[in-house]
Amino acid sequence: MAHGHMIPLVDMARQFARHGSKATIILTPGNATLFSKTIERDRELGLQINIRLIEINIRLIVFPSAEVGLPEGCENLSSTTSQEMSLKIHKAGELLQQPFEQLLEEDRPDCLVADVFIPWATDVATKVGIPRLAFHGTNAFSLCVHHVLHNQEPHKNIESNTESFIVPDLPDTIKLTKLQLLDPTRSRTESHFAKMVGKLMKAERTSYGIVINSFHELEPAYSEYYRKVVGRRAWYIGPVSLCNRDDEDKACRGNQTSIDEHECLTWLASKKPNSVLYVCFGSLSNFSTAQLREIAMGLEASGQQFIWVVRKEKTKEEWLPEGFEKQLEGRGLIIWGWAPQVLILDHEAIGGFMTHCGWNSVLEGLTAGVPLITWPLFAEQFSNEKLATDILNVGVAVGAQEWCQWPDDTKIYVKREDIEKAAAQLMVGEEAEEMRSRAHAQGDTAKKAVAKGGSSYSDLSALIEEMKLNCH
């Protein structure tokens, strides 16, 4: 239950519906409010165009906040403020099996697509007698990297946390350090999180196959590797964000925005093409007070125009230099809270995207043809960075060195000079233009992939046909 998983899953359900299937989304009430407008719009669309009825329903399950000790209404990782709280969200998820099973018994679907973070989904699907497809939220490349790290442990005999090692046997030379690995992979502790990663991998192994929000042409060597070496079936059906066709669809995607969509578009319309850097670190990032101040100073020093999305985890008085917003008025726009990300990225004024490398963000950036400044924080973001910088050549690394979800409040992880340097490198000059044109090419290919006859369109059609055969 996190935006980075629910947003693409809901878009995926909408893609299934556009291919003629009936899709039912199962959500808890607090999370359902995030998507009700989107689903309502899709229903209207189906009736208006009258070609094919888009049938999507939302079914609700009560969230067991009290049972796990969470405040009422806290049903999503983005509302947690500590590691303990986020573990409780996972714990609550484990308690949903029985009501979920009941819904499946009532609805009798032909197939279940469930996130890998729902550990009991395969058991429930088996009981009801239907196939379970797993959704990871990431790309084939990172799944392959994780597979090698888990099976071969190339980092095992490396003493230093900062010495780089090669992840062996992959189609490209990929180097990482121990400090950049997913915490449990590195420390091999028996923490709750480590156990969860174990369950997650089991979900992948025991499912019918996996659906990936990516497209073949983006990572052909790794879709091949995943099939042949990892040995799992996968369908590449993304970028699913492309099911959001107009500005309103894009503006209401995943949450209530903290800025009026028209105000945002008016601001962007006053800028030249490719002249604005969009800075956003997803729905879960936590920065230290010192780091937030450092970002502000780096952006100011870069001289670039920017939109910066700041999660409301701290009050601005704690860290924002006095007069910052006033001083940079016109040049920099801060969005406090939730931004209409896809709407912004798709605007021609955006010339670069500083991202934490959450997979949705990377893919949404590329789909819009925007090159990246990569600043991975946690999850599999360090391997996503490698895909963007070393393989696709569409990104500049800001120089983040350390996997960290809950930062030390006084620590600076990336210095202002590095932020300033990366911003200049990505926004101006020949190298920037080359990266931008490679990102553009990826964006064009992405759009072709989901259009009729494209690779993702065909993969989704093939999957649906296979599911139909299974039912007979």
Stretch of residues binding ligand UDP (CB under 6 A), selected from 152-160, 207-215, 352-360, 367-375: 352-360
Separation of alpha carbons 265 and 276, rounded Å? 13
Taking the least distance from each CB to ligand UDP, the nearer of 311 and 421 is 311
> Which residue from 143, 167, 342, 463 is in contact with ligand UDP, where contact means CB under 6 A?
342
Mask 229-268, x = binds ligand UDP (CB under 6 A)?
------------------------xx--------------
Q: Does 136 bind ligand UDP (CB under 6 A)?
A: no
> Which residue from 276, 299, 307, 309 is in contact with ligand UDP, where contact means CB under 6 A?
309
Q: Does 360 bind ligand UDP (CB under 6 A)?
A: yes
> Which residue from 174, 203, 284, 349 is in contact with ligand UDP, where contact means CB under 6 A?
284
Q: Pick the catalytic residue from 3, 11, 42, 115.
A: 115
Stretch of residues binding ligand UDP (CB under 6 A), selected from 41-49, 164-172, 354-362, 390-398: 354-362
Taking the least distance from each CB to ligand UDP, the nearer of 238 and 282 is 282
CB 334: neighbour CB atoms within 10 A?
18
Residue 335: CB minimum distance to ligand UDP, A:
7
- CB-based contact 125:118 (threshold 8 Å): no
Stretch of residues binding ligand UDP (CB under 6 A), selected from 80-88, 111-119, 216-224, 275-283: 275-283
Q: Does 283 bind ligand UDP (CB under 6 A)?
A: yes
> Which residue from 10, 339, 350, 450 is in contact with ligand UDP, where contact means CB under 6 A?
339
Stretch of residues binding ligand UDP (CB under 6 A), selected from 14-22, 189-197, 280-288, 291-299: 280-288
Using CA atoms, how far residue 184 sits from 117, 137, 160, in Å, is 16, 19, 17
Q: Does 3 bind ligand UDP (CB under 6 A)?
A: yes
Separation of alpha carbons 243 and 290, rounded Å? 39
Residue 317: CB minimum distance to ligand UDP, A:
21
Taking the least distance from each CB to ligand UDP, the nearer of 277 and 339 is 339
DSSP-based three-state secondary structure for 156 = coil
Is position 115 annotated as part of the catalytic site? yes
Taking the least distance from each CB to ligand UDP, the nearer of 125 and 212 is 212
Residue 408's contacts (CB-CB under 8 Å, 6 or more residues apart) are 288
Structure tokens at 460: 């989704």
Return the ∠ at Cα 9 (arms to 465 and 58), rounded to 5°.
90
Q: SS3 breakdown of the chain: % helix, strand, coil, rounded to 5?
A: 50, 15, 35
Q: In sequence order, what E strands does 64-200 have?
A: 112-115, 132-135, 164-167, 174-177
Using CA atoms, how far residue 24 sits from 100, 401, 420, in Å, is 12, 41, 46
Stretch of residues binding ligand UDP (CB under 6 A), selected from 162-170, 183-191, 281-289, 444-452: 281-289
DSSP-based three-state secondary structure for 423 = helix
| Residue of closest CB approach to ligand UDP | 4
> Which residue from 204, 249, 364, 385 is in contact with ligand UDP, where contact means CB under 6 A?
364
Structure tokens at 448: 């072709």
Compute CA 314 distance to the chain's CA centroid, rounded to the nearest angstrom. 23
Structure tokens at 357: 């490398």
Q: Does 443 bind ligand UDP (CB under 6 A)?
A: no
> Which residue from 214, 341, 442, 455 is in contact with ligand UDP, where contact means CB under 6 A?
341
Q: In sequence order, what DSSP letters do the residues of 213-276 get, joined into one string?
A: SS-GGGSHHHHHHIIIII---EEE---GGGG--SHHHHHTSSS--SS-HHHHHHHHHTS-TT-E
- CB-based contact 404:377 (threshold 8 Å): yes
DSSP-based three-state secondary structure for 41 = helix
Is position 110 annotated as part of the catalytic site? no
| Active site residues per annotation | 5, 115
> Which parts of this chain interact with ligand UDP (CB under 6 A)?
2-4, 7, 253-254, 280, 282-284, 309, 338-339, 341-342, 358-361, 364
